């Protein structure tokens, strides 16, 4: 059983790294599409009709993936100044409260994201005529990785450090 869990963890980490790379590529694509639309409209007096819809879809995807990345790197929204002023037991309670909120949000994204996908299976986006469910596709994926990373942070903190260590290694090799 332990071997299966180790392989599952390795597979989930690989998929997470792919999602990180994907989010970078998607963000670049959004910048390119929006710039192309602005240049096209300003200089050629022509509007790229699909640009707004595709940029919106990609921004929604980026938002859900970025939430999961933020949870993986333990970058919750909090006011560090006040957090540091609390005694250690209160800090621990606040940390666990943050984990519980992240778990709840991740579960909500998985459940309701899945429902949104089911409800929009048979409709299409107006301009591109792509299936509407594509807009919500990353919601359950982001929710799943929020839950996965939060559980790692809660119960396996040494395993959760992998997400932060990958960025630190890159910075150390640059410096």
**Is the separation of the CB atoms in 75 and 87 below 8 Å?**
no
Percent of the chain with pLDDT over 70: 87
Distance CA 110, CA 139 (A): 7
Number of neighbours of residue 30 by Cβ within 10 angstroms:
19
Look at residue 139 in the predicted model and tell me its pLDDT. 94
Say yes or no to pLDDT of 58 above 60.
yes
Tokens of 5: 């869990």
Model confidence at 164, pLDDT cuts 50, 70, 90, reads low
Mean predicted confidence (pLDDT) in 62-83: 82
Query: What is the average per-residue pLDDT within 22-46?
Result: 93
């Amino acid at each position: 059983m332990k071997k299966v869990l180790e392989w599952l963890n390795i597979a989930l980490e690989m998929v997470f790294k792919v999602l990180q790379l994907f989010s970078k590529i998607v963000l670049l694509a959004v910048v390119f599409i929006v710039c192309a639309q602005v240049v096209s409209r300003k200089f050629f007096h022509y509007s790229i009709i699909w640009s707004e819809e595709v940029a919106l879809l990609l921004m929604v995807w980026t938002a859900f993936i970025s939430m999961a990345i933020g949870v993986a790197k333990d970058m919750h929204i909090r006011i560090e100044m006040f957090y540091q002023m609390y005694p250690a037991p209160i800090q621990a309670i606040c940390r666990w409260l943050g984990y519980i909120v992240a778990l709840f949000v991740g579960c909500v994204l998985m459940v309701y994201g899945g429902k949104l996908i089911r409800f929009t299976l048979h409709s299409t986006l107006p301009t591109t005529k792509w299936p509407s469910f594509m807009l919500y596709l990353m919601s359950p994926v982001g929710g799943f990785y929020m839950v996965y990373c939060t559980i790692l942070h809660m119960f396996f903190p040494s395993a959760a450090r992998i997400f932060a260590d990958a960025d630190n290694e890159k910075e150390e090799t640059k410096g």
